[in-house]
Amino acid sequence: MQNALLDILILGLLVLVFGSIYRTRPSARLRYWIIGWVFILLHFAMILTNPVSNFWNEFDSVVLLAGLSLGGVAFLLAATRARLGPKKGAEVVALLGGPSLLYIVLTQFGMQNRLLLNGLILAQAACTLVATQRLWRRHRIVVRVTTACVVACTLWASFEIFQGDAPLAIYAVFTQIYAMNAVLYWQDFRRSSMGVVTAIGGLIAWAAVFPCALTLAALAPHLHYSSEIWNLPKYFVEFGMILTLMEDEIIVTSLQREEYRLLFDNNPHPMWIFDENTLQFLKVNEAAIAQYGYAVEDFSRMTLRDLRPPEEATQLERDLQEAPAMSLTSGPWTHIKRDGSSIQVEVASHKIQFDGHRARFALVQDITERQQLHDRLVHQANHDTLTGLPNRLLLKDRMERTLSTAERNGEKAAVICLDLDRFKQINDRFGHHVGDMCLKHLADLLSQRLRATDTVARSGGEEFTVLLGGLVAAEDAAMVAQNLIQGLRQPFDVDGYNLELSASLGIAIYPDDGAEAQSLWKAADVAMYRAKNSGGNQYVFVSNEISSAASEQSEIEAHMRAAFKDGGFEVYYQPQYSMNGYLCGFEALLRLRHPSMGLIGPDRFIPIAEECGLIVRIGNWVIEEVFRQAAEWKRQGLPAIRIALNVSPLQLMRADFSVRVRDALSAYRMDPEMLEIEITETTVMHNLEEVAKQMLDLAAVGVRFSVDDFGTGYSSLRHLHQLPITTLKIDQSFVQNICEDSSTREIVQAILSLAHSLGMQVIAEGVEREDQVELLRSMNCDQLQGFLWGRPQPADRVPALMSAQVRKFSAEGAFNRGVAAPQPHLC
């Protein structure tokens, strides 16, 4: 009894050892080893029982023998699961465990049928041979040893059955199972280590226990010896298995160490190990030696501090203190090579123990080229490519910093908007190359005449913005502005041209004129335009009036953005008449309705829309709305009539403009000949090639074009004749003085004569008096537009106006002039 308890205690402790190993390094083999030893423990536990009846005595014997059998089968399963997978491993259990368990049950409950029992033994043998062939047919030694063992054990079991000792035959099966375990253990590990040899020796001894015990009992029945001698093989097996696991761990560790050594030594990136406390290098690889230029002996005397610039020493200590146990990437850091050159690196590191030191293993990647590319991209994203100055994006950040510093120090700051005077004339006269050289000259001059702490940025075409910090009074900004104006007056040579520049400056002071960067910028911009409109070559401070104008601009911009969703844009239609009073068409005019400012005209909000980037979106909305309204009038039965649309140069320059217009014409089934697009002279002259492409594309489907405000720009009829233009609109500035100024009459007469000679029609804008009508009629002007005959009307009043015209035509018999609906328009 005491020996059984001791066996249970020892085996139980060893099972716990297996369990602790399994928790850290789980595997299928170890799992089934544990299951096998649990069955062996069950075998010993049944020895301690004391059955009170024959049935329970027989049941106790069944469990006792089954534990021994299933333990051996579990060890077999551990080998097959480790090598062959779960499916074939399950076959081992079915083939080897099934017949033996059935034999145990039958014999322990008194079965004496020799034929049946011998059949089970033969079935056990057949199943074992089948399993051997299916699972290990490629391993001849396994097949041969197993076959020999099966034949011998089967003969032994049959002999016991025919001698009338059928219960003893099961020991032949046990011998077979544990002998197979010995063979498979060697097949699994194939090494002559202490653990493997001990385990195999124990399994062979375990298999030999059964025939040896029976032989000794038969030959020396009166010999007394301790039964514990037969349990010794179990301990050898268990200790051998534990040693095998430890040896596996050593082998794996050794292989990993070798792999790490090869990875460390042959890695193309610098790698090193350094002491976490002293930062001294403990080991470096060949790549580090090659990259940094130091020999191994040099590194052994160096610390990580020697690779970092002196100014980064404090940062290095702080980084190492805050670094986690494993840092995937950190950096970029600057490292100094032996030749004094510097590189940018990223470091991935983690904590290790190395030769008794608390250390860090680090992988270093040279990212100098990548960092340089990144810096170039960042610089390009934040700087103007022509002048190298900060652009609007970086300017906004600098502005916030400047104002924050001024607020923190209780100082003033200034935002100065600067715009070159008459820069367009320089481009037109000398070419864009000379214009670009002027901008570079201005950028250099501004940079030279400002402090290093100030900022100058290119915020637009010929617009620059200056930020001044650390000011005591507004007069400081005035002195800087005057200094800049004087510097610009100094002539300079560009491609043989001696040029002298001038500029208009607007100045906003923080916090006097505002506390927000955007509001100050807007106010300075308005002040700059005030300086330009006053003749230029001067600076203007923000006043209450200018601040109000800037605030109004911000309010209008915000309202325009909201108008797309909440409504606010409205299209008005101003009629255009022939000289005899017939309605010829309408010009669509956009209005913005504001809750407090009322109806805002395009002269106020269109420049703001162009500046803040909303103009294209607004233009697209107008196209859709006008075409929708024309389709609605057609549905109401009104005759088709020409509608003129004003198009921004920014929208006309978009590559998809003509496509968008054609798609809208198709969607609303509008006759292209009923659409006239108005463009300005400036649009034509500055972008002739692109504008011509868009215009010709639309003219091919019947769209008409007119030039608005003709006479105020720089175009010539020679250039206009190259484009599909059908109409010129004389600017109202000429019409207003046509009766009083003879020179104006001569200009208008010249425009009319030349336009007619080129087959173009002429519309006079801004007609407000009858004497103007009579004079224009005498000069053979084609059409009139102005408050005298018709103010802009909301869309809901247009049908009444058109109906009145139809009735007028009917009364005068004028349908032959185009009143009928199929005609292009009413006149």
| Residue 604 burial by Cβ neighbours in a 10 Å radius (0-12, 13-18, 19+) | middle
Do both 241 and 125 map to the same domain? yes
pLDDT at 220 exceeding the cut of 80: no
* Average pLDDT estimate for 191-220: 87
Residue 460 covered by a domain = yes
Residue 113 covered by a domain = yes
Instruction: Give the domain range for residue 483.
Output: 383-542
Mean per-residue pLDDT of the chain: 85
Do both 367 and 389 map to the same domain? no
* Average pLDDT estimate for 315-333: 67
Do both 396 and 319 map to the same domain? no
Residue 280 covered by a domain = yes
For residue 538, give the 3-state DSSP assignment: strand
pLDDT at 306 exceeding the cut of 70: yes
**231: closest CA among 2, 7, 5?**
7
Amino acid letter, residue 734? F
**293: closest CA among 245, 241, 343, 259?**
343
* Dihedral sign computed on CA atoms, order 227, 230, 235, 236: positive
Q: In angstroms, how far is the first alpha carbon of the chain from the final one?
A: 128
* Average pLDDT estimate for 622-628: 94
CA–CA separation, 535 vs 625, rounded Å? 40
Do both 281 and 150 map to the same domain? no
| Band of residue 373 on the pLDDT scale cut at 50, 70, 90 | confident
Do both 47 and 21 map to the same domain? yes
Our CA dihedral for 662, 665, 666, 668, rounded to 10 degrees, sits at 150
Pairing of strands 704-710, 727-730: parallel
Listed residues 372, 403, 427: the one ending a domain: 372
pLDDT at 86 exceeding the cut of 80: no
User: What value, to the nearest 5°, has the Cα angle with vertex 21 and ends 18 and 22?
Assistant: 85
**503: closest CA among 478, 473, 476, 482?**
482
Write phi, then psi, for 598 (nearest 5 degrees): 80, -145
pLDDT, position 687: 65
pLDDT, position 457: 95
* Average pLDDT estimate for 135-149: 82
pLDDT tens, position by position, 555-607 = 788 888 888 888 889 999 999 999 988 899 999 999 999 888 888 888 888 88
Q: Identify the CATH number of the domain in which residue 504 sits.
A: 3.30.70.270
Q: Which of 105-114, 414-423, 545-554 has the lowest mean pLDDT?
A: 545-554
| Band of residue 469 on the pLDDT scale cut at 50, 70, 90 | very high
Do both 190 and 333 map to the same domain? no
For residue 581, give the 3-state DSSP assignment: coil
Do both 93 and 222 map to the same domain? yes
**285: closest CA among 305, 263, 303?**
263
* Dihedral sign computed on CA atoms, order 220, 222, 228, 231: positive
Reply yes or no: is the peptide bond before residue 332 cis, omega within 30 of 0.
yes
Do both 532 and 453 map to the same domain? yes
pLDDT tens, position by position, 734-782 = 898 889 888 888 889 988 998 898 889 999 999 999 999 999 999 999 9
Amino acid letter, residue 428? D
H/E/C letters for each residue in 775-786?
HHHHCCCCEEEC
Instruction: Please indicate whether residue 499 or residue 55 has the higher confidence score (pLDDT).
Output: 499
Write phi, then psi, for 492 (nearest 5 degrees): -150, 155
pLDDT, position 791: 93
Do both 412 and 331 map to the same domain? no
pLDDT, position 585: 94
pLDDT, position 821: 35
Residue 148 covered by a domain = yes
CB 471 within 8 A of CB 424: no
Residue 779 covered by a domain = no
Tokens 């160096």 belong to: 302
CA 120 from chain centre, in angstroms, equals 70
CB 358 within 8 A of CB 277: yes
Listed residues 522, 542, 562: the one ending a domain: 542
* Average pLDDT estimate for 176-183: 88
| Band of residue 817 on the pLDDT scale cut at 50, 70, 90 | very low
pLDDT at 730 exceeding the cut of 80: yes
Count up the domains in the chain and report the number: 3
Do both 153 and 17 map to the same domain? yes
* Average pLDDT estimate for 361-370: 89
Listed residues 520, 542, 564: the one ending a domain: 542
pLDDT at 675 exceeding the cut of 90: yes
Amino acid letter, residue 449? R
pLDDT, position 398: 92
CB 824 within 8 A of CB 703: no
The H or E element that residue 588 is part of is strand 583-594
pLDDT tens, position by position, 241-271 = 989 988 888 888 888 888 888 888 888 999 9
CA–CA separation, 265 vs 270, rounded Å? 9
pLDDT at 825 exceeding the cut of 50: no
Q: Which of 30-44, 284-298, 588-602, 717-731 has the lowest mean pLDDT?
A: 717-731
pLDDT at 823 exceeding the cut of 60: no
Residue 690 covered by a domain = no
Which residues have CB under 8 Å from 134's CB, separation 6+?
A: 88, 91
Our CA dihedral for 443, 446, 447, 453, rounded to 10 degrees, sits at -130
Instruction: Please indicate whether residue 352 or residue 223 has the higher confidence score (pLDDT).
Output: 352
Task: Provide DSSP, 303-327.
Answer: BGGGGS-GGGHHHHHHHHHH--SEE
pLDDT, position 763: 95
pLDDT, position 109: 79
Sheet with 281-284, strands from edge to edge, namely 281-284, 271-275, 357-366, 342-354, 326-336
* Average pLDDT estimate for 420-439: 87
pLDDT, position 737: 86
* Average pLDDT estimate for 642-668: 90
pLDDT, position 683: 67
- Taking phi first (over 0 means left), then psi (-120 to 50 degrees means alpha), and beta for anything else, what does residue 785 get? beta
Write phi, then psi, for 577 (nearest 5 degrees): -120, 155
The structure's pTM equals 0.47
Do both 53 and 158 map to the same domain? yes
**350: closest CA among 325, 387, 318?**
325
CB 506 within 8 A of CB 485: no
Residue 759 covered by a domain = no
How much of the chain exceeds pLDDT 70, in percent? 90
Q: Which of 510-519, 554-563, 658-667 has the lowest mean pLDDT?
A: 554-563
CA–CA separation, 347 vs 271, rounded Å? 9
Q: Identify the CATH number of the domain in which residue 302 sits.
A: 3.30.450.20
Residue 584 covered by a domain = no
pLDDT at 81 exceeding the cut of 60: no
pLDDT, position 650: 80
Reply yes or no: is the peptide bond before residue 390 cis, omega within 30 of 0.
no
Do both 355 and 239 map to the same domain? no
